[in-house]
Each structure stands twice: as C-alpha cells, then as structure tokens.
C-alpha cells in the first residue's frame, strides 16, 4: 500500500498516554482487510496524518516481523499507534501498536516496518566505474523505492553529468550526491585569463593557475604581469573572475 508523505520532514518521536493515541484506525472499516493489512493501513494513515506529501513523492510500508494478526485481531477491535520512531525516516522503524477490545482489554505489540520512499531520482543506466567522468547517456531518471533516510538523491541529470563517481555504482542504483566528486576544468600551471571588474570597468589580464580549478569555485592564480597571487572564481576552463559577485 502506498501513500504520499513529506520528503525529509519527519518529526521527533512522541510517547503519549493511552488516552491520547498518536493515531487510531477509523471505525467502522469500509472493507474487510486481513489482520496484517489492517496494521499496515493504520501505520500508513498515521504517517499520512503526520506528514502530508508533495506531488510525486510516495511511500510503501512493509512489515518486517509480521505476527499472527489474523488470529489476534477481531473485526470489532480498534488499532491505535501509541509511539512513533525516534529516528528519521525512511528506513527501518519501530512502532508501538495497541489493540483495543470493546471490553476494555488492551494488547500492545511492537511492530518493525520498512518505510520506503517512492520517487523519481537519477539512476545508473550502466555500471559506473570509479573516477570516470559521467556522461548523459550513463544515467536515467526512474521511479524507484528508496530506504536511506537523510540521503541527498540526485533528481536531475544535470546534478550528475560531468562529475566523477567516487566508487563503483551498479546498474539501476539511485545516485546520491555524496557518491560524486567534481572534475577540475583547469590544472596547476594552465594559462588563464583574469577578468577583473572595478568601477564598472572590465579588465583582462594574463594569469597562471596555481592549483586545480573547479567551476564556480575559488582558485589561486598568479598575475603574469604583477607576479601577484590572487583568488578568483572559475568561470570556465580558461577564465577566472577576480572581484565582483
């Protein structure tokens, strides 16, 4: 079963009193569900209530320790979520679920479940070798199940193309930003053009890179004429902007 939820917006866990459940299933039910399906349903509704989702982001809940819920639950019983996970989601989480009988008896069970995110992310179309520059044909956007809480997944190919993988990435695997490293567009000793902006004027000067340069990042450059080392922002493989914004 799948529902929408807010990516990365899971709150801290709360332990509430028996009289103030975090979430209880609706009564009566519109359809007859198996015991396990009822547990999954109440967990999903609880998550939905706590964290509405933006468009395009869903979750799936799968029980890791399915008990004999069919033997335990009666049709008139009420399921209540008493405690939510203390850690972040998605991932494996524990929920305290109570079964409330009509005669007042309460049975509580810890339920372990895998909470998986379903969303469109950048995946490896082919196996990616370490330290090879990734090209547009190497990746594709697919809708997949994700289980790493707190991971920053690439959602646009532009976030991946032109960078290197730090390690091997298997076919179909989702790509996270921490798997990648920038590729320098200039090396130490490369001749570059310094672009100096001052008082509305733009002045060009010859320079030499004193280190590796990455797009949009600062790099030390020596001005060939003045022999002075300055720092500037890398505009491309041959241009470094000094001063300005």
Which of 118, 145, 163 finishes a domain?
118
Claim to verify: residue 196 and residue 174 sit in the same structural domain = no
Residue with tokens 């060009």: 204
Residues of the chain falling short of pLDDT 50: 1-20, 27-30
Which of 99, 118, 137 finishes a domain?
118
Claim to verify: residue 209 and residue 159 sit in the same structural domain = no
Using alpha carbons, select from 120, 145, 123, 142 the residue that is nearest to residue 62.
145
Which of 181, 201, 217 finishes a domain?
181
Q: For 133-172, how does the pLDDT look when each residue is reduced to its tens digit (9 = 90+)? A: 999 999 999 999 887 666 789 999 999 999 999 999 999 9
Confidence (pLDDT) at 245: 58
Q: For 164-195, how does the pLDDT look when each residue is reduced to its tens digit (9 = 90+)? A: 999 999 999 999 999 999 999 999 999 999 99
Claim to verify: residue 24 and residue 113 sit in the same structural domain = yes
- Judge if pTM exceeds 0.95: no
The verdict on residue 186 lying in a domain is no
């Amino acid at each position: 079963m799948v529902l929408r939820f807010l990516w990365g917006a899971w709150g801290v866990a709360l332990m509430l009193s028996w009289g103030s459940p975090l979430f209880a299933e609706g009564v009566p039910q519109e359809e007859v569900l198996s015991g396990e399906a009822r547990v999954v349903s109440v967990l999903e509704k609880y998550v939905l209530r706590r964290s509405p989702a933006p468009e395009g982001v869903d979750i799936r809940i799968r029980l890791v320790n399915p008990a004999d819920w069919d033997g335990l639950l009666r049709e008139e019983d009420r399921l209540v979520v008493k405690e939510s996970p203390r850690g972040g989601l998605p991932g494996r989480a524990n929920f305290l679920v109570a079964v409330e009988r009509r005669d007042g008896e309460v049975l509580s069970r810890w339920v372990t479940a895998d909470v998986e995110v379903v969303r469109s992310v950048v995946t490896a179309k082919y196996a990616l070798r370490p330290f090879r520059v990734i090209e547009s044909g190497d990746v594709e956007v697919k809708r997949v199940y994700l289980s790493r809480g707190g991971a920053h997944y690439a959602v646009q190919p532009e976030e991946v193309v032109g960078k290197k993988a730090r390690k091997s990435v298997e076919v179909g695997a989702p790509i996270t930003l921490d798997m990648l490293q920038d590729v320098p567009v200039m090396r130490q000793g490369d001749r570059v053009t310094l672009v100096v902006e001052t008082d509305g004027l733009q002045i060009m000067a010859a320079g030499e890179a004193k280190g590796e340069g990455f797009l949009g990042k600062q790099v030390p450059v020596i001005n060939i004429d003045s022999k002075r080392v300055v720092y500037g922002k890398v505009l491309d493989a041959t241009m470094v902007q000094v001063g300005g914004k």
